[in-house]
Amino acid sequence: MIRMAHERGIEVTAGIWDHIYRGGVQGGGIPGASENAGKRVPGLVWGVTADNLAPYTKAALRRFIEVFPEIDAIQFRMHDESGLKAAEIQPFWHDVFASIRQTHPKLRLDLRAKGLPDAVIEDALDLGLPATVSTKYWMEQMGLPFHPTHINIENQRERRHSYADLLRYPQRYRVHWQLWSGGTARLLLWGDPDYVRRFAATARLYDGNSFEVNEMLATKMLGEPHDEKPLEILNPQYRYYDYEFERYWHFYRAWGRLTYNPEDGGGAWEHEFTQRFGPQAGIPVMNALRLASKVLPAIVAASYRYQNFPTTRGWAEMNRQGSLPEYAGEEGSDIQQFLNVREEAKSIVEGSDTACAGRKRPAAGSRRSRTPFWSKPARPRGPSGLGRTTSSGPPSPT
């Protein structure tokens, strides 16, 4: 598979997120999974302890790279949701980094930003390793195609998502942007070229040269036992494909083509829509999908409850966001750009715009639903050369 990817100019990054299984969020929401920590269970590594964790990991990584020498990079989850305890994080990564430097010093490393201590970043860089810091673009959801300007108070002093305090100078590393679209567009078709073009421009922040986006159906079967039979999306009489991923051909084409060259005029997929749906229906179907694809990102950015941050909990296609009293307590994800309903109600009652401070009101956002916020996309000059699609399985509830 790696060789096939390389023949097509595609690099392959392996994601290693769990280093020792200790239950908790590592169970993936599967009932009873946390009780299996430390036990012999099919499908889980057993026998790893605090004493042998670092030696086992170094040996396993060496063997992994020996078997797959053509791998281009490894992405690591760095914090306690990987199974590591707080006191283990810094010494564990120092041992792992030193081992990688000794055997594969040019291997690119993606270090997940959440819970990542500065000392660990500096350690990797001081050892001369080509390390990149990876962070979520907008929660574990698909917000609007710009970096949130002021994230929710709950996460302002940590690196849970967005650029946080990572944009430091003099610059010693790049930031890799992760669009966790799988929490928002899980099942319905999606394809908005305007969004992709604008996103490609924003991924250049801090001399950025890479991003990733969740593959459609990345959260399918999330929380189900690993031996559970996969659920079919469509009933047999309505199935028009051999493999479910084929439903999302426009998603892949838009992200692949427009993050390589945002100036592409769209002729390739206009032809594809015409081929699939006929000369009369093709373009109208394409335009309908483009407009429909603008709805969920606007909801996530402007009026989504912050407690729906995780991809395991928030599902904009389906969530009703609680009762009216619950929704009235909504705190958004970009508090600089969007007023919440409670603040707008106070402004109306008091007859004052003081609370608004230039932010977009919920009522105004509702009225503007026919003209999305990114209706005039910014286009960078020339090919962007950006992009990765991740299909490493269901993301975690981080």
pLDDT per residue as tens digits for the range 153-198:
888 888 999 999 999 999 999 999 999 998 899 899 999 999 999 9
What per-residue confidence (pLDDT) applies to 392? 38
What per-residue confidence (pLDDT) applies to 362? 83
What per-residue confidence (pLDDT) applies to 295? 92
What per-residue confidence (pLDDT) applies to 389? 46
What per-residue confidence (pLDDT) applies to 377? 43
What per-residue confidence (pLDDT) applies to 130? 97
> What is the dihedral sign for C-alpha 362, 363, 366, 370?
negative
Hunting for tokens 């594809």 — which residue is that?
272
What per-residue confidence (pLDDT) applies to 170? 96
Beta bridge partners of residue 212, listed in sequence order: 178
Q: Helices in the chain by DSSP H: which ranges?
A: 2-7, 53-67, 86-103, 118-126, 193-202, 249-258, 267-292, 295-303, 324-328, 341-350, 362-367
Which backbone phi and psi does 277 adopt, to 5 degrees? Answer: -115, 0
Residues 43 and 47: their CA atoms lie apart, in Å, by 13
Encode pLDDT of 4-26 as tens digits. Answer: 999 999 899 999 999 999 988 88
How big is the CA angle at 168 (ends 163 and 173), to the nearest 5 degrees? 85
Question: 232 with 180: CB under 8 angstroms?
Answer: no
Stretch (H or E) spanning 361: none
- In the predicted model, residues of the chain with pLDDT beneath 70 are 354-355, 368-398
Encode pLDDT of 88-112 as tens digits. Answer: 999 999 999 999 999 999 999 999 9
Residues 161 and 155: their CA atoms lie apart, in Å, by 8
What per-residue confidence (pLDDT) applies to 387? 55
What per-residue confidence (pLDDT) applies to 380? 40
What per-residue confidence (pLDDT) applies to 386? 60
Does the predicted model carry a pTM greater than 0.85? yes
What per-residue confidence (pLDDT) applies to 371? 60
Q: What share of the chain is helix, strand, coil (3-state, %, to 5)?
A: 40, 10, 50
Tokens of 301: 């950015």
Q: Tell me the chain's radius of gyration from C-alpha atoms.
A: 22
Residues 78 and 358: their CA atoms lie apart, in Å, by 38
What are the structural domain ranges in the chain?
1-129, 136-398
